Structure 1
Amino acid sequence: MGRRSDHNREELEALILDAGREVMAESGYARFSAREVAKRIGYSVGTVMHVFGGVDQLVMAINARTFRLWTQWLEDRLEGAQNGDRILVLVHGYFEFATVHRNLWSAIYEHRLPGGMDMADTLMAERVHLTDVITREVASVLTDASTTDTAKLASSLIATVHGHCAFLLGGTFALMGVERPVDLAAARVMEVLRANGAMC
């Protein structure tokens, strides 16, 4: 049963995204349901699909919002941080965000686009924005950033931290008896930065 005339398209899109984010945060990607999103807002699932074009597009829009939230989360933690501590703040902020928003964070990596479908521009832009924050901080600790491909270095460091974080949340580190994986991730990041001439 729909309330198709209650909202214009822009309002409806925001309503769907808010509900979609709630469902994703509660249920995770594997159990995400556009039907549940529609139920929560009192519209038909057909309306949800009409607004976004399909479940994959809706998930990409939710993931774009998650990237925006994640970027702001890191920027908030960097506010007022001393230069020597900012890289460690980023590492800890990564783990904290993934832990607090576990299902939203996981959905970013669990969602796979069907063949022939491109990533939405909004999702790509938010992903780039997050990476740019990290690249900026990496460049700030290098003694001569001009001689280093900072973007590639930052991407490699993100992969390092992500792997440690995924092992923590997936339970692998617990099985290995590893404590404080965030400290291990931070140590690896600092080692790589120093090897690339960072003064930190």
Structure 2
Amino acid sequence: MGRRSDHSREELRALILEEGHRQLSQVGFARFSAREVAKRIGYSIGTIYNVFGSYDALLLALNGRTLDLWLAFLEGRLAGCEEGRLDAAIEAYFDFALGHRHAWTALYDFRLPEGALPSEDYRGKVAAITAVIVREIAAVLPPDVCEEALPLARSLLASVHGHCFFALNGTFAMLGEGDPLAAAKARVADALARFGAR
């Protein structure tokens, strides 16, 4: 029987997120089970839906936790870094994805129903990671093209993501690319050079 009154709502939310993220990190999105999370914390599946409202909201919360970890990891890598900050950010992208493979891929594997939008809180977490990259790109651009930092950040994140994803799933190995990280850095450097980045 579940421990239906052992925890407050806030405690339950934290407990579910902790166990849910642990499971997501171990088995990945395709094998993730909210019912298994409930079983492992000693509550019913109904309790999870009572706390989060829906399966989609639970997955967004779990992915939001991954985004929080990713942001902290990225900022940690950049802290005290004087030279090559964009290269350090690209390395952090690859290292976080490799170190949190299942949780990282769940960010992209999970889809909300068509027409549904993630919460403002979730969008804010995504924007916070993007803002770090915008900041780092703006720091190397000439002042007269700093307005390009945001569109460049979006495109360069897509490029780095593609390199990283192909590295993780083995596509680059099949294509004969032996150093996807170096390739990602080179593509970013090429793009920034067109804008006179220093």
Amino acid at match of 1:60: L
Kept in 1: contact 2:17–2:61 (CA 8 A): yes
Task: State the Cα distance separating 1:169 from its structure 2 match.
Answer: 0.5
Amino acid at match of 1:66: T
Amino acid at match of 1:156: S
Unaligned runs of 5+ in 2: none
Q: Deviations over 1:86-130 (max 9, x none)?
A: 000001100000000000100000001013422122211110000
Q: Which residue of 2 aligns with 1:85?
A: 84
Provide the rounded CA distance (Å) in 2 between the counterparts of 1:121 and 1:134: 20
Amino acid at match of 1:189: V
Amino acid at match of 1:53: G
Q: Deviations over 1:160-195 (max 9, x none)?
A: 000000100111011112111000000000111111
Kept in 2: contact 1:139–1:145 (CA 8 A): no
Q: Deviations over 1:33-79 (max 9, x none)?
A: 00111011110011011111111110000111111110110110101
Whether 2:74 is the aligned partner of 1:49: answer no
The share of aligned pairs that are identical, in percent, is 49
Q: Which residue of 1 aligns with 2:31?
A: 31
TM-score, with length taken from structure 1: 0.96
Whether 2:193 is the aligned partner of 1:194: answer yes
Look up the SS of the partner of 2:7 in the other structure.
coil
Task: State the Cα distance separating 1:148 from its structure 2 match.
Answer: 3.2
Q: Which residue of 2 aligns with 1:143?
A: 142
Q: Which residue of 2 aligns with 1:163?
A: 162
Cα-Cα RMSD: 1.1
Provide the rounded CA distance (Å) in 2 between the counterparts of 1:115 and 1:3: 36
Amino acid at match of 2:19: A
Kept in 1: contact 2:78–2:88 (CA 8 A): yes
Unaligned runs of 5+ in 1: none
- Classify 1:145/1:39 alpha carbon distance in 2 versus 1 (closer, same or farther; 3 Å): farther
Kept in 2: contact 1:144–1:197 (CA 8 A): no
Provide the rounded CA distance (Å) in 2 between the counterparts of 1:124 and 1:16: 21
Provide the rounded CA distance (Å) in 1 between the counterparts of 2:36 and 2:73: 28
Provide the rounded CA distance (Å) in 1 between the counterparts of 2:144 and 2:110: 34
The 4+ residue runs of structure 1 with deviation greater than 2 A are 145-149
Task: State the Cα distance separating 1:147 from its structure 2 match.
Answer: 5.0
Amino acid at match of 1:108: L
Amino acid at match of 1:185: A
Q: Which residue of 1 aligns with 2:12?
A: 12
Q: Which residue of 2 aligns with 1:97?
A: 96
Aligned length: 198
Q: Which residue of 1 aligns with 2:70?
A: 70
- Classify 1:148/1:49 alpha carbon distance in 2 versus 1 (closer, same or farther; 3 Å): same
